[in-house]
Structures are given as structure tokens and as C-alpha cells.
Structure 1
Amino acid sequence: MDVPESKDPLEAATRAATSLEGLSAETAARVPQLLEAMCSVGSGLGQHSTLDRICETAAELAGARYAAIGVLDEEGEGLSDFVTYGTDEEVARRIGRRPDGRSGLLGALIRAPDPIRLTDLTTDPRAAGFPPGHPPMRTFLGVPIRVRDRTIGNFYLAEKAGGGEFNDSDLRLLRVLATEAGVAIGNARLYEAARQRERWIDGSVAITTALLSGGDADDALSVVAEQARRLSDSAMGAVMLRARSGGLEAVAVSADHPVMRVGSLVPAEAPAAAALLAGESVFVDDAATDPRLVTRLASEFGPVMLLPLRTDGRVLGALVMPRARGARPFSQRERTLARQFASQAALALMMAEAQRDRERLAVLEDRDRIARDLHDLVIQRLFATGMTLERAQRGEVAPEVHHGIDKAVAELDVTIQEIRTAIFALQQGPAEAPPGMCTRVLREINMAAVPLGFRPAHRFVGPVDSIGELAGKNLIAALREALSNAFRHAHATRIEVVVDSTVRLPDGRHAVRLSVADDGVGIPEGGRRSGLRNLKRRAESLGGSSRCEQGIGEDGRGTTVVWEVPL
């Protein structure tokens, strides 16, 4: 029986219900329930809650003890959702994992979408048996759920009440409900697809803004990792860039319990890394069994998407998005949206890199101009002044004047040498003369002194300059964040910065600890929250921690931010 489509759910339900002929008196008396369930399709309920209601009504109208609706995945090969009626939570727990529709009677309905009515399903050769804890079932009625010419799910009834069999009236009723379930699923899928595309587009805008804002590059990459994790509904999001060794290095990780750390390396010869570096996407349904994933982390995850960050024929790195073990595989739509997201991220990365190159070039050009001015103008004037003083010395002057002129000329010579040293330093690239950690900390403190109106005190404990590059880079970013928070929110009059590289963690590892204490107003509601989260996230990505303690102000006022990571 074909039910005419209608935009009005009440009209469609009325036509479908009145077309049911040969209903028993008991079933006909419950037609209002059928109308109510069918009208709920247009009531604004979500797909799952609507199917729950239709499932329950079908079981009651047909006198079935159990009912279920299986929704096919986008590929039409298995079930992406399975709504049941008649089994409580305890029974569901004993059964364990819900069916995937790839075998048994459920698989038969997917492969050949025609109604199936059985008096004893246990004798049917297509039945695959029941898992342990499953309630016994004999009578069975299955009907495909179709939208136009496409099957998108199946309706199942089992165990007719009173030991009877499902009849033609039950079949017609289930077909009507299957039609309305198809409307609910189809509309929900269209809505969810539109919402999903909108979320991925918003995520692409967020990462483009973060990468091109000119802020901290590590924070921008963290935004990419966070968006990738959130949008793909994954357990972790990670950004990996090309390493000097030729493989891939994790530069940003977002996870509640990260099993991958910033700085983790994947060698270029690993099969997945080789594919990514060649610009190929890698999709894995089970990381623990896929031979392309050879790292020890693979056993922690189930489905994984690994996408190259590729633009203009150049591979910058990769996005890694793994789901937890047992989670559903990534659908075709999710894979397509993720590819587009990765392409946008790669383009934004390249544009940000070009922008940083332009800024770096502008700085170098300005340094060259300053060096030329110092050489051509300042040094020449100092040299001319020295020559003038030496000429004046040749006349008859008092011994003390002669001594003063000698001293002045010597000072000019020293000044000229210092300027020439400065010119040489200006002409060197930043990477040729990297400053030590103490110098970098002092630079941040001096920069913060301008907006603060005073210079924070500082103290170094241990060989601070021996701190590694990764920990050092993150420490400087944490210091910058803490000083910025103190300026914007604390209203402090005194700040003390301590960098201690002699810390020993409880597990015996060496660590570096950064403490930034102020005498301000503490942490007001809503103040410094995002900054503190950034500090904590940055520390945890390196296996460290970040916390707040009592500050240095009177009466216990103020805040001390303690940030530490292992070396």
C-alpha cells in the first residue's frame, strides 16, 4: 500500500489510517493512537524521541512484546541507530553491543528490502542466533522503511501477544508506521546534514581567524586541534607538522586525557605517515588492528581519520582525529566535511606563514635601515668629533684638559666599537644568535613593564639557560599569558616572577617551575578564566600542570600562578 505524501502530518496520518481495511475491532479502536504517533513526526521532536514513540505505539497496536527500528548508515551497509521497545536497561546491558545489521535477519532485510513474516524465526536459515542475555523470540515481522525509492531503515516486531502470529492487518499497520518513520528519519537527516555543514564552516572560520590574527602561533594551532576534535566528535584532535627528521611532529593536541604529547614524532617510514606526506588521506575503522598504524597509541583508539594539510601541491602536515574504541566509524559525509576542513586549515596555515614571512622581512629591512643609519651617520659623526678633539689637543692646553680630551677620545672609540657590534647583531638573522632563557624572560618582563607602569621583580633559580627549546618556548608563552592576566584583571601594584629549573617532581623527574605572584584583587568571577585555561592546557600538553595559590598581597590578597612542566 502506498501512502500519498503530504506536507500536513495530520492529513497524511488520516489518509493512511482510514485506508487500513480489515482491521480487527481491537486494533480499529486504537486508531487514534496511530494518528497521535504519526502526527508527532511533525511536532518538532528529534529523530530518536520520535522513533521511540512510533516504536512503542507499533508494539501496542500490533500486540507485540518487542519492537525496534533500525536506521541505516549513509552507505546503506549497516545500522547507525537502533531504537528498541520492550527491553529494559538491565536486559540491554546483558546483551551488550547492539546489532550492526550486517548479518542475520536484520542483514537480510537490508540486502533484500521486502517484508519478512515468520512464525518461528529460530528455524529460518537466515537467522544468526541470539547473543547471551537476549530474550527468547519466535514470531517476527520485519518491514523496510523507505523514502521514495531508497531504503533508509527497517521496522521490526517480535513475539505476538498471546502466542499468536502476526497477520495481514499487522503488516498493513506496520507499513503505515514505516512510511511515517521514513518521513521522520529523512527530515532529521536533512536537518542534521545542514547543521553539520554549518558547524564545519564555522570551525573553518574560527581557525582562519586564529591563524591570521597575528597572535601566538601555538595558541592558533591549538584552536585547529580543538576544532578538529569537536567537529569530528573525536576523543582527540592533533595537529602534526613536518619534522626536521622527515617525519611528522605533534605541535598541538586537544584531548581530555591526552595519550599523545606535544613533540611526539612519527617516523616518515611509518605507512600512515608516508601516505600523509604523499598527500593521501587515511581512514581507519579500527586503529588496533590496522597495519598502517604502527605506533603504540593505536591500541587506545577505534576509528581514525588522518588527513594531510595540503595546499597548492605542498603538504604542511596532518590532522589526526581518532575516536574511542567501539565508537561508530566516520560516515562518508563526515569524511568529506573533514577533508574540506583540512584543506581550509592548510590554506590558512600557508597564508599565516606567508604573513609571518612578510612581517619578518619587514623587521629585517628595518634592521638593515637602522644599521645603515648607524654606520653612515652616527659612526661618522662620532669619528668626526674624535678627530676634532685630537686636533684641539695639538695646541697649547693645560695637562688636565689634555687628559680629559684623551679620555673623551677613548670613550668615543669604545662607543664606536659598541655601535659596530650592534650593527653586526642587527645584520644577523634571529636564528643565528638565539637569546638565552634568562634574556627571553627579562625581555617579557621589560615589555610588560610598559602597560603595568612598574617593572615586575624577578629571580632565577638553577641553570635556567639550559632549559630545552620546547619547554622554554611554552614557558615564555605562559609567562606572557600570566603577566597579561595580571595587567588586565589583577590591578596589582607588585608582581614577582620566579623561574626555578631545580624542581624535582614526585616521580623523580626534573622540572622547571614558573611562578607569577601579584598583590592584586585575586580572581573575580569571570575574570582570567580563559587565560588560566590556556595556561593549564599548555602545561598538560607537555605532561605538566598549572594551578593558582594565594598571592603576595596583604591579608592574603592576590594570586600566584604556578606553572610547571617536566624537562
Structure 2
Amino acid sequence: MMTGPRERLPFHELLDALEAWERDPSPANRRAVGRALGRMAAANGALGARLELDAPPLPRLQAACGTVRRRPGASSRLFRRALSVGGEQPLGTLWLDLPADRSAEDARLPPLAARAIETALDAAWSRARTRAVVRQLEALDEATRGIAGVLAVDRVLQLIVDLVRELAHCRYAALATVNDDGSIDHFVTSGLTRREAEAIGAPPRGRGLLGALIREGRLINIDELAGDPRAFGFPPHHPPMHSFLGVPLTVKGRNVGNLYLTDKIGDTRFGHDDEKLVVMFALHAAIAIDNARLHEQVQRLAVLEERQRISKDLHDGTIQSIYAVGLALENVPDVLDENPDEARTVVERAIEALNLTIRDIRNFIFGLRPELLEGAEIGEGLRALAEEFRINTLVDIEVEAPPGGVELLRPEQTAQLLQVTREALSNVARHARATRASIRLEVSPEAVHLSIADNGTGFDLRAEAAPGHQGLRNIAERTQDLGGVMEIDSAPGRGTTLRFRLPRLVPAARPSGRATV
């Protein structure tokens, strides 16, 4: 006959009571477990029963019914059974009080009753463990997501140690990153108040138990720190700590640090589940630390590259402009008496050029392009450079460039090409002793061709470049950065021509309004 909602079997009643106890270990729910235990014991012919449950994640429990109210002694006549899951995972202990006048057939009842209660506890523990594992995996997923993408070393270290303390449900946590020689590089804590941290003073140096974990590179789990000979060197004002779990942080076979957890909340020790959870988190944490370190290295390299770029830009732009002004002013004393108007004009032009240079420097500081070339299309920029060159050197120069420059090149190509032109003209001003120069820009469907020529002294291509002449090397590097090639045609007394060929990154013709698939 089927039972209704109010006619639950004792097994189901005990199972429901245990689940309620898991959710809320209150006195009322403990009494409910005792009542369900009594019904189940009575159904199996027992006069009373006592259950002591110690099976995390189920909360600890002591429940009794009938004639067994207190814990029986060692000499008790009561039936006693150690409960477990499959003979491996301990659950607790059960005592049953059976009638003294039971028949031989009733002798089978104690193991049957104990087995029925054990089955209910097994089911409750398995459900609780499943829910706990799901919660742990969700927490692990949230924690690993929290550290993913954090690229500042200090921030990711603090985030890791805070998250692992919550994940393992412990009172204190610390993280140490180590250098190649095993010395501690960073030491970050979680759970200590600011006053406690200040009272402790300097961070540890990797001796004692922390040093053992660094040297051994394997998990260490200790129930009581006071009983371990490796636990020494605690400074004054250090809070007392008992249970300990240490897990190395390893990535690609390298130890990048260690996690230290102490004082498991709600238990006297860290269990096997805690070990597995922290080890899984440590894998992600080690990768996050390694990524943050690599990012810092990239940032440092970027700073070095930026310094080199600044050096190149200062040489190619600002220094060349100032040098050209100096060249223009050299002749002022010679013409001042004979032609003061011409001298005044040269000085005014020099002042104008210096003002432009000052504005260029200001823009350069803020990471902008030089003002003369800011936003210019290629033809406009070339003409502006030619005018600046003519004013500062009094050398005749002509420019040939097709219209529609905005569509010829991408902005980054235009900026680099103009800087190449500025450096080339600076070389003409400094070394060529020319009276005429020219800039020619030609565009084909596949490439952009630029030539800069002068009628100056020229030089022997076979001769080694003079020390300090960085200009041609900078020009070659910039051209290579653009994916282009540079050719030099020069000979003593025949002037110099620089020819550049750059691939076009923008299509030669605009797409039509019709689309094809």
C-alpha cells in the first residue's frame, strides 16, 4: 500500500531531518533528527539509540532517543557500530539499546537497523558533499575569473591571497613570491588587521616552515603548528595559529611562489577537499602571477623602446630644426652692417622657427606629432617641410607631389614618411653644402615612391660612415618599419639622391557602391 505525505517511512523522515540539519544546525532541527532516529530505531525493535555524527560537510551532531540519552561507556552492553561510506569515509558512531529477551531470530536486527541508519546517513552525506563540491567549483570559477586579466603584480597578489582565504574558509592566508635563489620577493597577507600587521613588523625571510615549503616545493598539511619542529621563528605579537596548509605555485615547472593558509574555520584541520580545491586554484594563480610578471617585463621593454624612439625623434626632428636655425644665424654678423634688413629678416625667421620648435617640444611631451605635420596629408606635409628647410637654409627647393594625399597612405604611414623626409633634409642642411634640392612623390597602384635629391658635395658610398652620423641609420630603420626599402645614390662632387619605395596599405581605388558576395 502506498503511503501518503503524512505517512513517510522512517528512512525518509531521517533523511529529510538530516538535510534540514545541514541547512540549519539549530536545536529544533537537532531534536527533529532525534525524533526521526527514534522512529527508525523503534521500527527495528530497538528501545533507544544515540548517534554521534562527524562527517563534513554535514555539521557535527549528537542526537539521542529512548533509553540512550548519554554517551555509553566502554563496558556498555549496548550494540555499537562505526558508521562509514563504503567502509572508507567515516561518518560517526551509532549505539542501539535492544531488548534483553530477544529471540535468536531477533539477533539479526542490530546489524539490519544499523545498516538502515547508515544508509540514510550515507545518502545525506553524499547529497551534502555534492552540494558542497558544486559550491566549491562555483567559488573556484568565480575566483579564477577574478584574477584573470589582472596584470598589475601587486594587485593580482593581493587579490589571490584574499580569494584563497575565502575559498578555503580559513582565518589567515599569505602569499610569497620567490626569486630564482629561493629568497622571498613579495609577501602579502589576508586576514590580519592593520594593527596586527604593523605589530608583527618586517615580513618573513623564508626560514622555518615557510622555508621548508620553498625548499621542498610540495604540499604541506599540518593539524597543529605547535607540534611541528619546522614551525619556528614566529616574531613577537604574531597571532596564534594552529592548522596549516601550504601549497606551491608552479607554472611551466618553475616555482613562482607559495600559498600559506592557517586556522581552518569550523574545523581543526584542512581536509582532503581543501587540499584539492587550493591546488586547483594555485594552478590558475601561478599563471596569473606569471602573466603579470611578463606584462611588467613587456612594460619595461616598452619604456626602453620608447626612450629609443624619443632619442630618435629628438634627433630627427627637434635637434635638426634647432641646428638649421643655427646655420641660418651664422651669416647674420657678416650681413648685419651691409644689409641690416636682410639680417633682420633672417633673425625674424629664426625666431619663428624656434617658436615652432618650442611648440613641437610641448606637443612631443604630450605624445603628439610635431605641430608642423599634425594632421597633414602627405603633399601638404612635404611642402611644409620644404618651406621650413628653405627658410632655415636659404637653399632653393622644389616639391612635386600629386593631390589627394589623404587617400594615398594611412595616417601612420604619412607620419613616418614625413619624419623620414625631415631627417633627409636635415642631412642635406648639415652635410651637403647644396644650393638646390628637390622632393618628388609618385604613386603607383602598388607602391609609393619618394625621392629626395641635392646638388651638394656627395660622399663615397664605399667609405665607412663617420661616427655620430645617426641620420641615415635612423632613416633606414624607419623605412624598414614601414616595410619599405631605401636606396642611396651618391658620389663625391655629384650630390646625393635618396629613393624610397613603400607598399601601399590603402587600396588604390575606392570600392564601388555595388557589393558582391
TM-score scaled by structure 2?
0.53
Query: Contact 2:175 / 2:260 at 8 angstroms: preserved in 1?
Result: yes
Match of 2:229 in 1: 291
Q: CA deviation at 1:350?
A: 0.8
> Structure 1 residues 141, 55: closer, same or farther in 2, change over 3 A?
farther
Cα distance per residue 1:383-424 (max 9 Å; x no partner): 12112112122111669x79x969x89x97xx99xx8xx99x
Q: CA deviation at 1:188?
A: 1.7
The answer to whether residue 165 in structure 2 is matched with residue 229 in structure 1 is yes
Q: Structure 1: how far apart are the matches of 2:79 and 2:23?
A: 23
Superposition map of 1:3-18 within 5 A? none
What are the ranges of 5 or more consecutive residues in structure 1 without an aligned counterpart?
1-9, 15-29, 75-79, 96-104, 106-120, 125-137, 424-567
Q: Structure 1: how far apart are the matches of 2:111 and 2:172?
A: 46
Residue 331 of structure 1 is aligned with which of 248, 263, 271? 271
The answer to whether residue 85 in structure 2 is matched with residue 85 in structure 1 is no
Match of 1:140 in 2: 78
Match of 1:273 in 2: 211
Superposition map of 1:468-547 within 5 A? none
The answer to whether residue 53 in structure 2 is matched with residue 70 in structure 1 is yes
Of the structure 1 ranges 363-372 and 295-304, higher mean CA displacement relative to structure 2 is found in: 295-304
Q: CA deviation at 1:230?
A: 0.3
Q: Structure 1: how far apart are the matches of 2:324 and 2:203?
A: 58
Q: Structure 2: how far apart are the matches of 1:282 and 1:249?
A: 21
The answer to whether residue 41 in structure 2 is matched with residue 58 in structure 1 is no
Query: Contact 2:17 / 2:36 at 8 angstroms: preserved in 1?
Result: no
Match of 1:487 in 2: none
The answer to whether residue 124 in structure 2 is matched with residue 184 in structure 1 is yes
- RMSD (Å) for aligned C-alpha atoms: 4.9
Match of 1:242 in 2: 178
Match of 1:443 in 2: none
Match of 2:95 in 1: 157
Residue identity opposite 1:339 in structure 2: V
> Structure 1 residues 305, 199: closer, same or farther in 2, change over 3 A?
same
Match of 1:40 in 2: 16
Query: Contact 2:177 / 2:256 at 8 angstroms: preserved in 1?
Result: yes
Residue identity opposite 1:84 in structure 2: Q
Match of 1:380 in 2: 320
Q: CA deviation at 1:220?
A: 2.5
Residue identity opposite 2:263 in structure 1: R
Of the structure 1 ranges 303-312 and 54-63, higher mean CA displacement relative to structure 2 is found in: 54-63
Q: Structure 1: how far apart are the matches of 2:78 and 2:340?
A: 123
The answer to whether residue 284 in structure 2 is matched with residue 308 in structure 1 is no
Q: Structure 1: how far apart are the matches of 2:265 and 2:170?
A: 11
Q: Structure 1: how far apart are the matches of 2:159 and 2:8?
A: 52
Match of 1:485 in 2: none
Q: Structure 2: how far apart are the matches of 1:165 and 1:249?
A: 72
Q: Structure 2: how far apart are the matches of 1:122 and 1:155?
A: 13
Cα distance per residue 1:157-204 (max 9 Å; x no partner): 37789x999985566444322221211112222232233233223212
Query: Contact 1:234 / 1:322 at 8 angstroms: preserved in 2?
Result: yes
Q: CA deviation at 1:144?
A: 3.9
Q: CA deviation at 1:155?
A: 4.0
Query: Contact 1:309 / 1:316 at 8 angstroms: preserved in 2?
Result: yes
Residue identity opposite 2:232 in structure 1: V
> Structure 1 residues 327, 179: closer, same or farther in 2, change over 3 A?
closer
Query: Contact 2:182 / 2:214 at 8 angstroms: preserved in 1?
Result: no
Query: Contact 1:248 / 1:265 at 8 angstroms: preserved in 2?
Result: no
Query: Contact 2:245 / 2:261 at 8 angstroms: preserved in 1?
Result: yes
Query: Contact 1:46 / 1:188 at 8 angstroms: preserved in 2?
Result: yes
Please state whether the residue corresponding to 1:266 is helix, strand or coil.
coil
Residue identity opposite 2:321 in structure 1: R
> Structure 1 residues 159, 47: closer, same or farther in 2, change over 3 A?
farther
The answer to whether residue 334 in structure 2 is matched with residue 355 in structure 1 is no
Residue identity opposite 2:234 in structure 1: R
Residue identity opposite 2:16 in structure 1: S
Cα distance per residue 1:52-71 (max 9 Å; x no partner): 64443224654767622323
Please state whether the residue corresponding to 2:188 is helix, strand or coil.
strand
Residue identity opposite 1:371 in structure 2: S
Please state whether the residue corresponding to 1:347 is helix, strand or coil.
helix
- Aligned pair count reads 340
Q: CA deviation at 1:352?
A: 1.8
Query: Contact 1:310 / 1:343 at 8 angstroms: preserved in 2?
Result: yes
What is the aligned-residue identity percentage?
20
Query: Contact 2:38 / 2:48 at 8 angstroms: preserved in 1?
Result: yes
Match of 1:426 in 2: none
> Structure 1 residues 346, 35: closer, same or farther in 2, change over 3 A?
closer
Residue 344 of structure 1 is aligned with which of 281, 284, 295? 284
> Structure 1 residues 271, 173: closer, same or farther in 2, change over 3 A?
closer
Query: Contact 1:284 / 1:303 at 8 angstroms: preserved in 2?
Result: yes
Please state whether the residue corresponding to 1:296 is helix, strand or coil.
coil
Match of 1:507 in 2: none
Q: Structure 2: how far apart are the matches of 1:123 and 1:354?
A: 63
Query: Contact 2:169 / 2:264 at 8 angstroms: preserved in 1?
Result: no
Cα distance per residue 1:62-119 (max 9 Å; x no partner): 4767622323579xxxxx85311259xxxx9xx9xxxxxxxxx9xxxxxxxxxxxxxx
> Structure 1 residues 122, 268: closer, same or farther in 2, change over 3 A?
closer
Q: Structure 1: how far apart are the matches of 2:294 and 2:141?
A: 23
Superposition map of 1:549-564 within 5 A? none
Cα distance per residue 1:289-321 (max 9 Å; x no partner): 222122326761111112222212222222111
Q: CA deviation at 1:287?
A: 1.7
Please state whether the residue corresponding to 2:170 is helix, strand or coil.
coil
Q: Structure 1: how far apart are the matches of 2:239 and 2:122?
A: 38
Match of 1:206 in 2: 146
Cα distance per residue 1:109-155 (max 9 Å; x no partner): xxxxxxxxxxxx5463xxxxxxxxxxxxx553323435455454234
Q: Structure 2: how far apart are the matches of 1:159 and 1:253?
A: 52
Of the structure 1 ranges 253-262 and 198-207, higher mean CA displacement relative to structure 2 is found in: 253-262
Q: Structure 2: how far apart are the matches of 1:239 and 1:281?
A: 14
Query: Contact 1:229 / 1:235 at 8 angstroms: preserved in 2?
Result: yes
Q: Structure 2: how far apart are the matches of 1:337 and 1:122?
A: 39
> Structure 1 residues 286, 47: closer, same or farther in 2, change over 3 A?
same
Which structure's CA Rg is the greater one? 2
Q: Structure 1: how far apart are the matches of 2:189 and 2:87?
A: 44
TM-score scaled by structure 1?
0.49
